[in-house]
Amino acid sequence: MTVARRPGAGAARVLAPIVVGAVVLGLWQLVVTVGGVDDYLLPRPAAILAVVAEIAPSMLSAGAITGLNALLGLVVGAAIGILAALAASSIRVIDNMIAPIVTALAVIPIVALAPVLNTMFGADSQFGRQAVAGLAAFVPVFINTLRGLRQTLPVHRDLMRAYAAGSSQVMRAVTLPTAAPFVFTGIRIASSLAVISALVAEYFGGPRGGLGGLISTSAASSAYARAWAYVLAAIVLGLAFYLATLAIERLALRRRS
């Protein structure tokens, strides 16, 4: 039996993370202010916030550049992931053939890939970063979609056969709707990965102006408060992607239990 949800649980649910966040920030501030930790490397939250106010426009424009790279990578990577999963689920040979490649992609560090992609696609365009984000997004979308496409219940398959439904009808009526929650899970995982990958790729060359480049430039000139402000922007960007995909997922699947 499920435990009856106590009234007020909803409030606790929202409050708890806020309290935890506030406590951590408070401790941080306390340690830096009172604890004698040098605030040269780890600026106090208040200092970071002050910088945020100062450089907000630059954070926005940098966030837009990185965000666009991540978005393009996410969209294209997810699309390719879904198509590849469709191919793999319907043709076993393809499945077996791409399995090792996907496994390798899943363990390859971006650091290794970024310089190579920059040379392949040109350091003067954002494409290398978009490709990195796309590769990062591809893997979880592919894996989850493939799993989802295999979730079709035998009873539904039998039913469709009994209806003498064609393969595209089966795909539309049963296979895709069944896979949908899995696809969305994959996209949700991919969303944060795409952002962080697009950002890290900026460390390895290409046009300037994105969040990753600004974090490294700021850190290199010891402007740590500024660096942390850009890190904050990166977190917000990642969170925005995550929440956006979550919202789309909720919207698309609102009729599921």
Partner 1 sequence: SSTSEEPTDSGDGGDGGGALTPVSLQLQWLPQGQFAGYFAAQEQGFFEEEGLEVEIIPSGGDIVPQDALANGDVDYAIAWVPKVLGSIEAGADITNIAQIFQRSGTLQVAWADSGIESIKDFEGKTIGSWGFGNEWEIFAAMAENGVDASTVEIITQDFNMNAFLSGDIDAAQAMTYNEYAQLFETPNPETGELYTPDDFNVIDYNETGGSMLQDAIWADAERIADDEEYQQTTVAFLKAVIKGWVYARDNPEEASEITLNAGSGWGPSHELWMVNETNKLIWPSPNGIGIIDEEEWNSTVALSLATVNETGAQIITEEPPATAWSNEWIQQALDQLTEEGVDVTGEGFEPIEVELNEGGN
Partner 2 sequence: MTTTAGAGPPPSLRSRRGAPRRELARWGLGVLGIIVLASLWELYKLLGPSDGLVLADARVLPRTSDLAMPHIWDMLARLSEPVTRADGSRPLWLEVAIAATATLGIAAAGWVVGLVVGVGLALVMQRWRLAEWGLLPWIVLSQTIPLIAFAPVVRSWGARVEIGSFEWQDWMSVALIASYLAFFPVAVGTLKGLQSPDVIHVELMRTYAVGWWKTLLRLRLPAAVPYLLPALRLAAANAVIGAIVAEVSTGLQGGIGRILIQYAGQASGDPSKAWGPIFGAIVLGLAAAGSIAVLGSVLRNYRRVEVDA
Partner 3 sequence: MTNTGDDGAGSSERPRPASPGTATAVTVTGVDKVFETRSGQVSALKRIDLIVAAGEFVSLIGPSGCGKSTLMRLIADLDQPTSGSISVFGKSARQARLDQDYGIAFQQSGLLPWRTVAANIELPLSLHGVAASERKSRVGELIELVGLRDFADRYPDQLSGGMQQRVAIARSLAEKPNLLLMDEPFGALDEMTRERMQSELVRICAETKAAVVFVTHSIPEAVFLSDRVVVMSPRPGRVQQIVSMQLAADRTDGLREEHAFFDMVTAVREALHQGSPVSSVRGVENR
Joined together, the tokens standing for residue 113 give 């890939």
Q: How far is residue 228 from each of residues 118, 180, 240, measured CA to CA in Å?
A: 27, 37, 18
Of these partners, partner 1, ligand ATP, partner 3, none, which one is at the site of residue 115 (CB under 5 to 8 Å by kind)?
partner 1
**Closest by CA position to 202, among listed 233, 240, 242, 245:** 233
Which of 174, 232 has the CB closer to partner 3? Answer: 174
Of these partners, partner 3, ligand ATP, partner 2, none, which one is at the site of residue 150 (CB under 5 to 8 Å by kind)?
none
**Of the candidates 44, 142, 238, 245, which one interacts with partner 2 according to CB under 8 A?**
238
Which region among 92-100, 114-122, 134-142, 149-157 touches partner 3 (by CB under 8 A)? 149-157
Which of 98, 180 has the CB closer to partner 3? Answer: 180
Q: Which residues contact 91 (CB under 8 A, 6 or more apart)?
A: none
Interacting residues with partner 1 (CB under 8 A): 38, 40-41, 58, 114-115, 118-119, 122-125, 202-208, 213-214, 216-217, 219-224
Which of 157, 208 has the CB closer to partner 3? Answer: 157
- Mutual angle of helices 224-252 and 45-90, in 10-degree steps: 40
**Per rule CB under 8 A, is residue 12 in the interface with partner 2?**
yes
Phi, psi torsion values for 112, nearest 5 degrees: -75, -35
Joined together, the tokens standing for residue 221 give 């000139």
Which of 90, 125 has the CB closer to partner 1? Answer: 125
Tokens 């592919």 belong to residue: 142
**How far is residue 76 CA from its own chain's centroid?**
13
Which of 10, 35 has the CB closer to partner 1? Answer: 35
Q: What character string, x for contact with ligand ATP (CB under 6 A) and - otherwise, covers 3-42?
A: -x--------------------------------------
Q: Count of residues binding ligand ATP (CB under 6 A)?
A: 3
Cβ atoms of residues 28 and 173 within 8 Å: no
Q: What character string, x for contact with partner 3 (CB under 8 A) and - otherwise, covers 103-142?
A: ----------------------------------------
List b or e across 192-217, with b for residues whose CB sees 16 or more CB atoms inside 10 angstroms: bbbbbbbbbbbebbbeebbbbbbbee
Tokens 């893997």 belong to residue: 139
Q: Count of residues binding partner 2 (CB under 8 A)?
A: 58
Which of 113, 149 has the CB closer to partner 2? Answer: 113
**How far is residue 210 CA from its own chain's centroid?**
17
